[in-house]
A = this chain, B = another copy of it.
Amino acid sequence: MSSNYHLIPQNVNTPFQRSSGEVCDNLTPLLPEEGTDSEVGDETPPSSFCGELQILHASPYSQTERFGFIMGFGTGRYPMRYYWIATAVLAAVALAIGLLIGFLAAPSGGGETPGNPPTERPPSETYQAWLDALKGEDEWVTEKLLEVLDAKKIEEHLRSLTRVPNLAGTSVDKDTAYYVRDEFNKYGLDSVEVVPYEVLLSYPDIENPNYVYVLNSDGEEEFKSQAFEKALTPEENRTDIVPPFNAYAVNGDVEGQLVYVNYARLEDFLYLERNLSVNITGKIVISRYGKIYRGDKSNHAEMFGAAGLILYSDPADYAVDSVTDVYPDTWWLPGSGVQRGTLFLDIGDPLTPGYPSLDTAFREEEEDIRLPKIPVHPIGYDDALKLLEQIGGTRAPDSWQGKMDLTYNIGPEMKDNKTVRLEVNNVNQKNYTYTTIGYIKGSLEPDRYVILGNHRDAWVFGSLDPSSGTACMLELARAFKILIDEHGWRPRRTIVFCSWGAEEYGLIGSNEWIEENIKALSKKAVLYMNVDTAVQGNHVFRARSSPALYKAIYDATKKVTDPSERSKSVFENWIDKSPGSDGQPSIGTLGAGSDYASFMDLVGISALDFRYTYDSALGISSYPLYHSMYETFHLAKGILDPDFEYHLAVTQVWAELARSFADSLILPFNCEDYGIKMEESMDEIKRNSEAMMKERGFDLDNFYTALEEYKEAAKNFHAYIDNLETVDPFEVRSINDKLMYLERSFIDPLGLPDRLLNRHVVFAPSSKNTYFGDAFPGLLDGMFDIDNLGEPEATEQWKLVEKHVSVLTYFVHGAAKTLKEVFQDG
């Protein structure tokens, strides 16, 4: 296959860039008063990208030492025993006074900001003062941080980031990496680097566009799909926009009858096969977007033998209110709009599974890796109408009917013996993608990393996905540096800001960086906080996360005013609109929808993702303009969030979460919630399969015993923490290690069954829908459709289930052990 590559010089033009217009200029930040020394667009080679490394030696007692010498002691004038006595007495005096001051100086009530926040950590002349310093001072930092964040600056960043298309592997990939680097440097982050990885990407061939045709019974072309979306505002009127395509779809030119497969979920195909006896082998299938990840749709189509797959956005899912009142007037998808997107089912550069795409890396052959094997192409609903109205055969069930003005039939019979032809001419190509990393060094524990991140690449402008998140992150970095520079604060732990490349293709930039740095991250990462699309609606806050972070998310959202109802906190609005089963707001499980996936699944770093979103009562699977050309700055500014107050609220939550993990004496993880979540999830599995298990004489008793052990250990561990009065740095460190390594407890280097690189045994992307996360995915997969198996397959499969449950039991027992080891802190 590689001989078919169009060899396009790196960083010059991708095949769809008809003009080589100097796109870099568009990226100059809108902040002339802060200097225009951007290096965007320069040709510095990758090897010298890294910003100057600034090693800080700001350990808390360096002042102490200097102070001691300045005072002139240590000259040896007095007999030694006087020193002994004096030391004991004076030190005791100093200590006691320090204690008293600490007591008196403590705020009398919760939540008030001292009139003059300290300009730096308390002086550490005494041991006690130093111990006091270890405790940090949270409240004034929170208030100051939320106050410093500025919606206007977020807007400015978003404007800068959405001036040009942000497709991965193009010259803009590098330009924006430098833009982010320059911003970080401007704020004065302690270290900034740009990291390039050469990875396999995929583009449509502009000389040979992809088309879907309707052919009449003589094979003559009757209809041809649009190659481009129509420009509806001046903003979209440019020539460097990648035409709609699905990344990694294999090239092909296939013709045949068309079958409508609803959302192309597994259950849709099984319904066709079992209830309607429709065999799709050799047919072209057409599926609407929505409900599940498009890569799973394509995988299902392939599994069931389809010759090709056409994806389209139905108004039922993307223009719910109307097909006329659409973008640019509303956020609904117009008929020309097409959702782009990757079909890749794994994570990271397809050519280097398990290892980073260093220049020295071995690249697998494309035929040895899991890439789509059938042609796939996406279209809008204007074009889809022309195809669907040709389908005959059985009428599709009511729940399959979309919202276009026609009767949705299943096929495969077509009206007037017409056929459909699908022509895909994509090129897989190795290009560099760039990731920018910025560090704020921690004052006391620089080797503990609180990691924030988002990707930078988009299919087109990406005003929501991902640039709304990037704009927030840049403002967040600025705010932290203001607290450092102007308020004398510095976080206890290091904060790392990550701007990933090539997320859209398969979470590639983050995966490769994690693979390169996996040893350090596995030891040092506290957690990973992802904000991809910061704002995709203005109805309510939404979060997905590890259960270890639920409480921290609740706490942070309680401190931020909700923009939709200013009398409420984000938390209060959230719990009103999305109540969970336990009296708290509902928080979802992480799948593989964004860059958190490799942190959680490969390393076991607790992760979360949040945003402001639309009303779930709309029943839509994503915001309508998702991955279309119309996801513009206008969508954000003109339609969703004119004052950027939702962006600001998300940034404030992010800021407070980052502060709480970067600066708290004891990390705000909660281990008990993990037990509750595991119990709920296993209870549900048990409910759904109890009869089946009983019949096999199989039970989950051992697992539940281990779970009780875990819950007890978690309860005792938190009770121990709650009663802790120490600030012994070693004891604190040890407790925090246990908290942050809890997630690592669930990592099995041997992977889930048949999923070697999905190492988290409790949570993983669903194997049926990569967007969403499953609890106990190995167990769900093992029992999937097991009651339809004959013998001896069923017995063999039950044996695998039994083995996997024993593995889960071991990991839950192991997690309990890590919380209750020999010594409470041992």
Give per-residue flags for A684-726: 1 if the beta carbon is below 8 A from chain B beta carbons, else 0: 0000000000000000001001100000000000000000001
Query: Given A124-B127, A734-B447 in contact, is the A68-B741 Cβ separation under 8 Å?
Result: no
- Chain B residues within an 8 Å CB radius of A516: 810, 814, 817
User: Which stretch, A93-101, A240-248, A629-637, touches the partner chain B?
Assistant: A93-101
Binds B, one of A26-34, A211-219, A517-525: A517-525
Contact B68–A95 (Cβ < 8 Å): yes
Asked if B447 contacts A825 (CB within 8 A), the reply is: yes
CB under 8 Å from chain B, chain A span 726-742: 726, 728-731, 733-734, 737, 741
**Could you tell me the distance between the alpha carbons of A517 and B64 in the complex, rounded to whole angstroms?**
41
Contact A810 B358 (CB under 8 A): yes
Residues in chain B near residue A96, CB distance under 8 A: 68-69, 71-74
CB contacts under 8 Å to B, within A787-826, are 802-803, 806-807, 809-810, 813-815, 817-818, 821-826
Given A59-B726, A806-B361, A817-B516: A95 and B83 within 8 A (CB)?
A: no
Rounded to whole angstroms, the CA-CA distance of A811 and B125 in the bound complex is 44
Closest to A60 in B: B728
Is the Cβ of B123 less than 8 Å from the Cβ of A88?
yes
**Is the Cβ of A103 less than 8 Å from the Cβ of B129?**
no
Using A73-B99, A101-B80, A729-B729 as known contacts, say yes or no to A520 and B810 having CB atoms under 8 A apart: no
Q: Is A227 an interface residue (CB 8 A)?
A: no
B83–A823 CB distance below 8 A: no
Q: Does A231 contact B (CB under 8 A)?
A: no
Return the chain B residue nearest A105 by Cβ: B80
- In residues 518-546 of chain A, which contact B (Cβ within 8 Å)? 518-520, 523-524
B74 and A519 within 8 A (CB): no
Interchain CB contact under 8 A, A83 and B71 = no
Number of chain copies forming the complex: 2
Decide yes or no whether A19 CB sits under 8 A from chain B: no
Q: Which of B93, B99, B127, B744 is within 8 Å of A519, CB to CB?
A: B744
Instruction: Tell me if A56 is interfacial: C-beta within 8 Å of chain B.
Output: yes
Shortest CB distance A28–B (Å): 28
A91 contacts B126, C-beta separation under 8 Å: yes
Q: Which of A4-12, A320-328, A437-445 contacts B (4 or more CB under 8 A)?
A: A437-445
| Contact status A803-B362, CB under 8 Å | yes
Q: Which residues of B contact A731 (CB under 8 A)?
A: 59
Known pairs A494-B823, A733-B733, A806-B361; A86 contacts B97 (CB<8 A): yes
Complex Cα gap A737–B741 (Å): 15
Q: Are A807 and B64 in contact (CB under 8 A)?
A: no
**CA gap between A237 and B439 in the complex, in Å:** 72
Cβ proximity bits A418-443 to B, threshold 8 Å, 1 near / 0 not: 00000000000000000000010100
Which residue from B76, B83, B86, B817 sits with its C-beta under 8 Å from A517?
B817
Q: Which chain B residue shows the least CB distance to A360?
A: B702
Residues of chain B with a CB closer than 8 A to A140's CB = none
B-side contacts of A56, CB under 8 Å: 823
B-facing mask of A750-762, CB < 8 A → 1, else 0?
1000001001000
Partner of A97, one of B73, B128, B741: B73
A67–B87 CB distance below 8 A = no
Chain B residues, Cβ within 8 Å of A494:
823, 826
Considering only CB atoms, which chain B residue lies closest to A125 in the complex? B91
Chain B min CB distance to A799 (Å): 8
Cβ of A400 within 8 Å of any chain B Cβ, yes or no, is: no
Complex: how many Å from CA A123 to CA B127? 13
Query: In the complex, which of the residues A356, A737, A749 has the most CB atoms of chain B within 10 Å of its own CB atom?
Result: A749
Contacts of A190 in B (CB 8 A): 823
Which residues of the partner chain B approach A617 to less than 8 Å between Cβ atoms? none
Instruction: Output the least CB separation between A467 and chain B (Å).
Output: 26
CB contact under 8 A between A741 and B519, given known A446-B826, A813-B358, A823-B56: yes
- Contact, CB under 8 Å: B101 / A97: no
C-alpha spacing A695/B346, complex, angstroms: 37
The docked-state distance in angstroms from the alpha carbon of A355 to that of B445 is 34
Interchain CB contact under 8 A, A806 and B447: no
Nearest CB of chain B from residue A744's CB, rounded to whole Å = 6
A61 touches B (CB below 8 Å): yes
Q: Which of A53, A72, A130, A737 has the most CB of B within 10 A?
A: A53
CA distance A810 to B807 in the complex (A): 30
Assess whether A125 is in contact with B92, with CB atoms less than 8 Å apart: yes
**Those of A47-77 within 8 Å (CB) of chain B:** 53, 55-56, 59-61, 64, 67-69, 71-76
Asked whether B90 lies within 8 Å of A90 as measured between CB atoms, the reply is yes
Q: B104 to A817, Cβ gap below 8 A?
A: no
Chain A 320-364 near chain B by CB (<8 Å), digits 1 or 0: 000000000000000000000000000000000011101011100
Q: Quick one: which of A71, A741, A826 has the most chain B CB within 10 A?
A: A826
Give the nearest-CB partner of A742 in chain B: B519
Instruction: Tell me if A784 counts as interface (CB < 8 A to partner B).
Output: no
Verify if A390 is at the interface (C-beta below 8 Å from B).
no
Q: A94 touching B97 by the CB < 8 A rule?
A: no
For the complex, is A170 an interface residue (Cβ under 8 Å from B)?
A: no
B737–A523 touching, CB < 8 Å? yes
Complex Cα distance A334/B270, Å? Answer: 74
- Judge if A142 is at the interface, Cβ distance under 8 Å: no
* A87-B83 contact, Cβ under 8 Å, with A99-B68, A807-B362, A817-B517: no
B53, A73: Cβ atoms under 8 Å?
A: no
In the complex the two chains form, is A99's CB within 8 Å of B74's CB? yes
Contacts of A126 in B (CB 8 A): 87, 91, 94-95, 127
Q: Of all chain B residues, which has the CB nearest A131?
A: B61
19 CB < 8 A contacts A-B: A68-B92, A83-B100, A86-B94, A90-B93, A95-B126, A127-B127, A355-B807, A360-B813, A439-B826, A446-B823, A446-B825, A447-B737, A516-B814, A516-B817, A517-B814, A517-B817, A518-B814, A519-B817, A733-B733
Given contacts A53-B822, A95-B125, A520-B818, list 7 more A-B pairs with CB under 8 A: A75-B100, A88-B123, A90-B93, A92-B125, A191-B822, A191-B823, A445-B734
Task: Across the A-B interface, give the 3 residue pairs with the lowest CB-CB distance, nearest first.
Answer: A73-B96, A127-B127, A749-B749
